[in-house]
Amino acid sequence: MVSYVLNGRMDLKIAPATRERVLAAARSLDYRVSHSARALRLGRTNTFGFYTGGALPDVADTFYRKVVGGLQQGCHRHGRDLLLHHACAEADVEAVFASLTDGRVDGLIVLDVFDEALVGRLAASSTPVVSLVNALPGMPAVVADDEGGERLMLDHLVSRGVRTLCVHRAGERGNSVARREAAFIAAAEARGVPWRACPTRTVEPSDLGWLAARDFEPPAVFVTWMDVFAYTFIAACARLGLRVPEDIGVVGFDDLPRPDAPLVRLTTLHAPWEQVGLTAIDALVTLHDGGQVAPLTVLPVSLVAGETA
């Protein structure tokens, strides 16, 4: 059995002479396995796919790398390959769905799929799908404990004697950022700590009027839901001549490494994004093998007490 030899299988007894004969022939013919043929025959590809809706904004890069790193590690542990599907902005839902479920991969990890029709198709398909970071209807998800993290953050800020909570209103809905915001506000209200909304979408002067006017009572902290936004805020403060944290503090979420050395160590929440990716692959393997997985897996988040609040 040529196939047995080439795959290095030891479960069948093959005469050493025969084995060597096969190997020699393969070498001389410059034999290369055909992935397509094997996949067709086996009905599986030993490959998992990663699909993220639309183009990832540049700001998400480091986060993305963390997640993909976890996926890679998980795939490696289970002897699977990882295929990074590329979102095609112009393609319609059916085309994207077709290309995701054409048998190229045995299962799918999805992130930031906001198209409800696509989510529905994927949830109903026979391909196992696991959602990352955000829970999606109809499929298991692996997420960070956004709510628990924000409660930790509120406790931290209260213990530091903060007087004014300037809460970032990003205007997002139904995703992890929105959950963080809701959880923080709920915690503040439960503790009776006053807060105010700061609709600082960008660092444009029009959005930073409250900051430029120093329209807050120190000690104040600006509470954001992503590190990258906290860093942007720090840059804006520097431009406006405000010191962090003396004039106003700032906190984030993610605890992602920065490409350039930041001027300060940010006070933030550490979310285990690699672990999220790794856990999602574990779930996908279980699903692919016909097992059951929890509809929602929540991974813990911890406080990183830095210098900014």
Partner DNA sequence: GTGAAAGCGCTAACAG
Partner DNA sequence: CTGTTAGCGCTTTCAC
- Interface residue list for DNA (CB under 7 A): 1-4, 6-7, 12-15, 17-18, 31-34, 37-38, 40-43
Q: Residue from 14, 23, 26, 39 that binds a copy of itself (CB under 8 A)?
A: 39
Nearest to 7 by CA among 33, 27, 30, 42: 33
CB of 168 to DNA, least distance (A): 49
- Nearest 5°: the CA angle 275, 44, 32 is 105
CB of 58 to DNA, least distance (A): 37
2 binds, among DNA, a copy of itself, none (CB under 5 to 8 A by kind): DNA
142 binds, among DNA, a copy of itself, none (CB under 5 to 8 A by kind): none
17 binds, among DNA, a copy of itself, none (CB under 5 to 8 A by kind): DNA
Give 85: exposed, middle or buried? Use CB within 10 Å, 0-12, 13-18, 19+.
Answer: middle
- Cβ burial 137-150 (10 Å sphere, 16+ → b, else e): eebbbbbbbbbbbb
State in Å, rounded, how far the first CA of the chain is from the last one. 68
Torsion of CA 193, 199, 202, 203, to 10 degrees: -60
Scan residues 221-240 and list those touching a copy of itself (CB under 8 A).
228, 231-232, 234-236, 238-239
* 56, 110 Cβ separation under 8 angstroms: no
Using CB under 8 A as the binding rule, whether residue 26 contacts a copy of itself is answered as no
54 binds, among DNA, a copy of itself, none (CB under 5 to 8 A by kind): none
Q: Give the separation between CA 161 and CA 175, rounded to whole angstroms.
A: 30
Using CB under 8 A as the binding rule, whether residue 33 contacts a copy of itself is answered as yes
Task: Give the bridge partners for 110, in sequence order.
Answer: 51, 131
Q: Give the separation between CA 109 and CA 222, rounded to whole angstroms.
A: 34
Q: Give the separation between CA 56 and CA 133, rounded to whole angstroms.
A: 14
**Which is closer to a copy of itself, CB of 101 or CB of 297?**
101
Scan residues 86-125 and list those touching a copy of itself (CB under 8 A).
86, 88, 90, 98-99, 101-104
Using CB under 8 A as the binding rule, whether residue 77 contacts a copy of itself is answered as no
- Amino acid code (one letter) for 300: P
Q: Residue from 19, 158, 262, 303 that binds a copy of itself (CB under 8 A)?
A: 262
Using CB under 8 A as the binding rule, whether residue 219 contacts a copy of itself is answered as no
Using CB under 8 A as the binding rule, whether residue 83 contacts a copy of itself is answered as yes
**Radius of gyration in angstroms for the set of CA atoms belonging to the chain, rounded to a whole number:** 25
Using CB under 8 A as the binding rule, whether residue 69 contacts a copy of itself is answered as yes
**Which is closer to DNA, CB of 40 or CB of 197?**
40
Q: Counting runs of H as helices and runs of E as strands, what totals does the chain give? A: 11, 12
Kindly list the residues in this chain that would bind a copy of itself in the complex (CB under 8 A).
32-37, 39-40, 45, 55-56, 58-59, 61-62, 64-65, 68-69, 72, 75-76, 81-84, 86, 88, 90, 98-99, 101-104, 203, 228, 231-232, 234-236, 238-239, 257, 259-263
